[in-house]
């Protein structure tokens, strides 16, 4: 925000000072032409552009190492105070009176051109000082809490399979020309559908890193052991 405002001030000031330079150069060119007389238009335009550039020149001169925004606000305050207390020039010289009038017109234009910048600064300051909005509490759910799902208990056949696995040595193996599988040990056999339930319920683990021909070891998990007598 601050960098953007400084950029705007720099661009506005550069434009006003550039316009002044062009008007002065046009007047100088006209003055060097000895075959032509000076026109009031060229003189007045140079005076007007000089008056418009004057506040911006003051802004550049007063910056130094100070904060550009603070210098800008102080300059606006000072020029506003001067403008409020000003009176019309009563010099006997018409050119001096016109120059004085253009000076105050230039200050008015400077204040008008930068009103929007002051408004933006004030809005940013208000936003920075506003407390952060409190989080909106989530509405309480009117739905009934979900009822806990009762833990599944093994059937007698599944419990028998768990007991067999607890004895150790149970493997899933493949044998014969038709690639038939067997799940069991020298102490007994577990039907395939029973074993699938034990595996799905995570009551047992299967070491599939071994080949079926070598035999894939099957072991109880803590969840499976919990269904057996201590």
Regarding whether 177 and 111 lie in a shared domain, the answer is no
Regarding whether 11 and 90 lie in a shared domain, the answer is yes
Q: How many Å apart are CA 12 and CA 35, to the nearest integer? A: 37
Regarding whether 113 and 75 lie in a shared domain, the answer is yes
Confidence of residue 178 (pLDDT cuts 50, 70, 90): low
Kindly report the pTM of this predicted structure: 0.51
Better-scored residue on pLDDT, 156 or 174: 156
In sequence order, the β-bridge partners of residue 181 are 174
Residue-level pLDDT at 149: 47
To the nearest whole number, what is the mean pLDDT of the chain? 84
Average pLDDT over residues 114-135: 81
Q: What is the pLDDT of residues 43-55, one digit of tens each?
A: 889 999 999 999 9
Better-scored residue on pLDDT, 140 or 62: 62
Regarding whether 196 and 86 lie in a shared domain, the answer is no
In a domain, 207, yes or no: yes
The count of domains in the chain is: 2
Q: What is the pLDDT of residues 81-100, one digit of tens each?
A: 888 877 766 677 888 888 88
In a domain, 135, yes or no: no
Average pLDDT over residues 200-209: 92
Q: How many Å apart are CA 198 and CA 154, to the nearest integer? A: 8
Better-scored residue on pLDDT, 180 or 24: 24
In a domain, 218, yes or no: yes
Regarding whether 167 and 80 lie in a shared domain, the answer is no
In a domain, 146, yes or no: no
In a domain, 174, yes or no: yes
Query: How is the beta sheet containing 216-220 ordered, strand by strand?
Result: 188-189, 180-185, 171-175, 216-220, 204-206
Regarding whether 174 and 64 lie in a shared domain, the answer is no
Regarding whether 212 and 98 lie in a shared domain, the answer is no
Which residue range is the domain that position 83 belongs to? 1-129
Regarding whether 167 and 121 lie in a shared domain, the answer is no
């Amino acid at each position: 925000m601050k960098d953007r405002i400084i950029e705007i001030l720099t661009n506005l000031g550069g434009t006003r000072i550039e316009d002044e330079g062009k008007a002065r150069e046009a007047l100088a060119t006209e003055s060097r032409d000895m075959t032509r007389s000076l026109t009031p238009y060229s003189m007045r335009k140079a005076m007007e552009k000089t008056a418009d550039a004057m506040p911006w020149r003051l802004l550049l001169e007063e910056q130094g190492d100070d904060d550009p925004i603070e210098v800008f606000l102080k300059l606006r305050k000072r020029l506003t105070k001067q403008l409020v207390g000003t009176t019309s020039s009563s010099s006997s010289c018409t050119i001096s009176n016109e120059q004085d009038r253009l000076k105050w017109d230039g200050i008015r234009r400077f204040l008008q051109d930068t009103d929007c910048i002051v408004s933006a600064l004030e809005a940013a300051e208000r936003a920075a000082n506003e407390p952060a909005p409190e989080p909106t509490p989530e509405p309480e759910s009117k739905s009934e809490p979900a009822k806990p799902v009762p833990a599944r208990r093994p059937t007698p056949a599944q419990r028998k399979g768990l007991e067999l696995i607890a004895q150790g040595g149970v493997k899933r193996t493949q044998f014969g020309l038709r690639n038939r599988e067997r799940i069991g040990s020298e102490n007994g056999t577990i039907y395939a559908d029973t074993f699938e339930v034990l595996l799905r319920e995570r009551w047992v683990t299967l070491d599939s890193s071994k080949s079926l021909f070598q035999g894939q070891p099957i072991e109880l998990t803590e969840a499976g052991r919990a269904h057996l007598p201590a």
